[in-house]
Amino acid sequence: MKKCPNCNDFALYDDNVAACPICDARLTAYTRPGAATERDQTIIMPRNDQQHQEQSGSETPQFETKQGLRYVYRGMITEINHYARFHNRLKKWVFAFFRGEPYQFGNTSHGSVVRIEEFHHDRISGRKRDLVFYGDVEGRFNYGDDVTVIAKRRGDRYIVTRMYLNETESRVRPTPQIPSALIVVFSLLLLIAVVYLLVSIAGFFASGAFLVLLQKLFSFAIVVLILFWIARALFRRD
């Protein structure tokens, strides 16, 4: 829309009209009071905010880091599922040896499946990982906690060995339990001792030492019987 700069009749003309039909003055573009131009409507982010956003994006911690045989996760807790199961001592020993579960005292074995999600920007959802935490840790952490978790992989499971709460700068400790590595070492030592004992017994029989010992025992038994017979004969004469 255009208007005449000389006439005060507040008449507006189309953009294709070049001159005022009353005074032949050149029409100028009309702007509504209080309206901003397209240039003014452009939102310019302050430099400090841009630097802060870039700095925040660069400081986002890495979600998964592998350190030797361990995995380190840094993220936020989004789901927690606690459970408790009844296991006898033999079953707990077998699970510790073959599945890597720590040996928990008592008849009840506690565990928690914790889902960790990475910190992300401009995305609906980030990467996730389900971790298994053995032991009674109910109430020690909650949804939304910023945690650092050290885990080991056993098959398709990631077992938590240590968990740190970054906001409170504390470590989550489960109830007293025996690490699975100690159970494995003790079981192997016991197995080696049993095998050594069986091999020694088999070697004892195979070497002929058993026959020699049996002959000595038989000879000793004969001597004892002879002495007993002589003593009995003497007492019978009296």
Residue 118: pLDDT above 70? yes
**Sign, CA torsion 53/55/56/57:** positive
Same domain membership, residue 122 and residue 156: yes
What is the pLDDT at residue 130? 92
The count of structural domains within the chain is 3
Mean of the per-residue pLDDT values for the chain?
Answer: 78
In the chain, DSSP finds a helix count (H) and a strand count (E) of 4, 12
Same domain membership, residue 114 and residue 85: yes
Same domain membership, residue 135 and residue 97: yes
Which residues is 36 bridged to in the sheet? Answer: none
Same domain membership, residue 68 and residue 33: no
**Residue, of 173 and 33, whose pLDDT is higher:** 173
Banded pLDDT at 237 (limits 50, 70, 90): low
| Structural domain span for residue 139 | 64-178
Banded pLDDT at 38 (limits 50, 70, 90): very low
Structural domain includes residue 58:
no
Structural domain includes residue 5:
yes
**Residue, of 119 and 236, whose pLDDT is higher:** 119
Task: Tell me what the mean pLDDT of segment 87-101 comes to.
Answer: 88
122: left (phi over 0), alpha (psi -120 to 50) or beta: left
Banded pLDDT at 206 (limits 50, 70, 90): confident
Residue 5: pLDDT above 70? yes
What is the pLDDT at residue 144? 85
Banded pLDDT at 73 (limits 50, 70, 90): very high
What is the pLDDT at residue 41? 45
Residue 195: pLDDT above 50? yes
CA distance 235 to 238: 5
Task: Tell me what the mean pLDDT of segment 62-68 comes to.
Answer: 86
Cα–chain center distance at 123: 23
Task: Tell me what the mean pLDDT of segment 53-58 comes to.
Answer: 48
pLDDT digits (tens, 9 = 90+) for 177-186: 888 889 999 9
Same domain membership, residue 116 and residue 19: no
Residue 120: pLDDT above 80? no
CATH number at residue 120: 2.40.50.140
